[in-house]
Structure 1
């Protein structure tokens, strides 16, 4: 009996230890991705461009996949690190900086399940003696965000072999890991994204599947600035804006009112079908492939995705005032709309003797002085930021603030300590001659990036009210770089917070009075946000 128990105990222990040692292919590849990126941006002899790092990946990949246990995998990594040369002691690396550290996590270095102690010690040593000065694969731009540099150009790689599909994933994953300021805000933990995407990348069996997986990957950033483009071929667009209202696709504005009228499209139209395809179902299928900071903007971008295309004419089934009809509508090159350079668009106007209105989409720096001079007797100003303004917030804020004020905390990547970010405070301008009446700022889902940044600056005015609905939630300068294969991709490059730590990324700017457009209001041609602003101005 005792002998039987001993045998069973032995078998149990053996199986337990064996289970502890075995490691799945996805786990091996995930650890390889982390080692690959860490060495690329931390190891002095790698980060300075000494090695062909992509070729190093190709050479090491079969070794990693052939590893039979965590111990043998650690040995592969140790041998690789030792082949890269000696690392000198870094005196500068001991300096203590003050960092924004929400994204910083190198705890995986001490992974006791997949790494042995010797490997962990080597990785710790590299962190403590990391590269200082210029990097080969990344540099800092004047505004603080990164520029991806010296990456090999891969042509005709629309659907590469598995090893290069993995290489593309690992390169991208590590750029986000070390230089994306909002990694800590993603819905899905970035480590789990890696483990989810590895098998999807490996199993993508053709170009279409592969491109869909990449769209899904980029969408994991939960960033309205994030995108990927596979072709230079220009899509065509309907001349209308579509918003998600009452869980419906609703015409909420025009890129070109004349072309919208020509195509029999009206405000408040609910679009039910596109070429006999149910819009609700199509949007739900596409949401996982759309990068957006919040659900509001994800729906808006999903509508743009499904309604654009290469065909000139499409069929739309719409509900107009409870009457369902089918119409034909043309699509156009976006440039045909003259949307951002319409000479007829107003810069400012008087709404009444007491209220002035400023449309920030069309105001240039040279206009500011004259606008405020013309409004010097007004008691309230309505500033419309439901658009994309020029970069004039600093000069403009001189006319809103009696004194300079902090309006944002800005944090930028530190390429000499990747995944750490350096903070600074941003200030408005100020003048004793600034406007002293009410300031009412208008925002909505069309307020994106610089519009949100400008809103934050204007919200420091002494007597300010912000009116509207949730903005796009994407703040900070955009970084553009290539995904392996020449695909163009983007992300937010710097982090922005309110001085009190409140998020603008994902959540959008602070709003005092929430007003959402309604179907009835749109059908009547009303601007309900502006109406509320005028009501507040008259109080």
Structure 2
């Protein structure tokens, strides 16, 4: 979808100003999106009275979109979006193939001895459903809800996770949304009722908004979904840092993978075993850090090793290391900016795409695209494609150059069509795609590098290439998280993101948590780490060399 008269550079002044965006769109357009995106360091953007004026044959129809004032406040990421989607009317066309019928009800036991009976379908017209409710009673209920919100001495809303009522309200919102629409309950560590009861107890014990943030992260951890994350508006990592060291797990030991500070290279070496962090066993800290993340075991490990030494910026951390038979004791300050994610290619110093030998070309899709390097790819006998991380291109782009015939497949993505509560009797719309061959056709052997840092779109890429047998995957299982996401915004500034789509491998086998499995498995070794080797890449080079 294109942008119509997009003039972001003009929205730079303070004060009120009216903006008009004009353009012509296809009459068959099914979805029209208006997006407001801010990228500012401080302050806020307020907007109101947004409307869409559709002019057809000199007749105008004005559709009000936003009537009341809406504010976009500064986020830690400095990016905020509000998106309004307008769907083309479909007349009497069904939303889903299946429909609820008048007379269908649900009967649910709330507590022993008390049940609720709720109709799932009602008669109605364009204005209301039947029976018509008493509008004054509804107004009273809304006012009562409004008056019950916490306020400060000036009568302004004071909504924070430090308030028990807000914490309980958020859990009710979250519990109902997840129970209704989360597709992977079978893979959760606890069932819905266990999570509900334990999170309620935690909420009563929590005192601050940060305490409750940890409770929400505990919920996410229990649900095992790599898409899942929780954040708090205004929360910042600016005072959080890590040691300038990257760690990895090899042969059941935590070892230094990479030294990021040149001033430490004479004191700390790749391959040094981590024995203690401030007197604590590193695996105990790793397990504790693991509890802050959600997803598969391999995804949690990838993120936990990055977060292993995170804490207050510039604080000194005491490490005990072991190098062969030498014990090393060292104090290091947390000076390296903390990021939850580091791609597998970055962990192995893989940056630019380049010739490995006169016949083997390496391309890093975290940094570039196959289109940019098509000339080199066409000359190579073997191409090694690094997919350890997030990609810069979609599945079809390169795949279309690897086939001389049309390829058709289901995408493995099942969009739930939810009519009933608690994710019961769910049907699915199954996605599919077709790849048309594109010139020039690439004749080189293709090797794909994979590990747990490859997630979502990367996994679509990997699973398609595996299905059509056009490449050999070398490395380790991918993250095991694909599909689209749902977002829940809750009072107090909390946001909870989770997978909304059920995803399987194209052959119907399980993808969630398992990931895309490599054809050739490569495990990290302490010897390889000490020698600074990228063992996954080296195995691909060996295979490519033997395949000549």
User: Is the pair's TM-score, using the shorter chain for normalization, greater than 0.5?
Assistant: yes
| CA spacing shift, 1:220–1:109, aligned 2, 3 Å | farther
Alignment match of 2:511 (pick from 504, 507, 523): 504
2:480 match: 473
Q: Is the 8 A contact 1:272 1:280 kept in 2?
A: no
Cα root mean square deviation, aligned: 3.8
Match status 1:249 vs 2:283:
no
**Corresponding position: 1:363 with 2:368:** yes
Q: Is the 8 A contact 1:444 1:470 kept in 2?
A: yes
1:425 paired residue number? 432
- Structure 2 unaligned regions, length at least 5: 1-91, 127-145, 151-156
**Are the structure 2 counterparts of residues 93 and 388 from structure 1 closer, same or farther at C-alpha, using a change threshold of 3 Å?**
closer
- The alpha-carbon deviation at position 172 of structure 1 amounts to 1.0
1:480, distance to aligned residue in structure 2 (A):
4.3
TM-score (norm 2): 0.65
Kept in 1, the 8 Å contact 2:413–2:504? The answer is: yes
Higher relative contact order, structure no. (Cα contacts within 8 Å, ≥ 6 residues apart) = 1
Distance 1:480 1:241 in 2: 31
Q: Secondary structure at the match of 2:474?
A: strand
Matches within 5 A, 1:115-514: 119=116, 122-123=117-118, 125-126=119-120, 128-129=121-122, 155-161=158-164, 163-204=165-206, 209-230=211-232, 231-234=235-238, 235-253=240-258, 257=260, 259=262, 264-287=267-290, 289-312=291-314, 313-330=316-333, 331-334=335-338, 346-364=351-369, 368-402=370-404, 403-406=406-409, 408-414=411-417, 419=423, 420=426, 421-431=428-438, 433-514=440-521
Which residue of the partner structure matches residue 15 of structure 1? none
SS in 1 for 2:543: helix
Residues 1:321 and 1:260: Cα distance change in structure 2 (over 3 Å): farther
Distance 1:406 1:323, change over 3 A: farther
| SS of 1:202 mapped into structure 2 | helix
| Cα distance in 1 for residues equivalent to 2:175 and 2:195 | 9
SS in 2 for 1:406: strand
* Bigger proportion of residues as strand: 2
2:528 corresponds to which residue? 521
Q: Verify the 8 A CA contact 1:93 1:129 in the aligned structure 2.
A: no
In 2: Cα distance, 1:295 partner to 1:333 partner = 25
Q: Distance in 1 between matches of 2:186 and 2:329?
A: 46
State the distance in 2 between where 1:219 and 1:471 align: 18
Q: How many Å separate the matches in 2 of 1:293 and 1:311?
A: 27
Cα pair 1:444 1:471 within 8 Å, conserved? yes
Residues 441 and 164 of structure 1: is their aligned pair in 2 closer, same or farther, counting only changes over 3 Å?
same
Distance across 2 between alignment mates of 1:132 and 1:516: 63
- Relative to its length, the structure with more helix (as a share) is 1
Q: Which runs of 5+ in 1 are unaligned?
A: 1-90, 99-105, 134-150
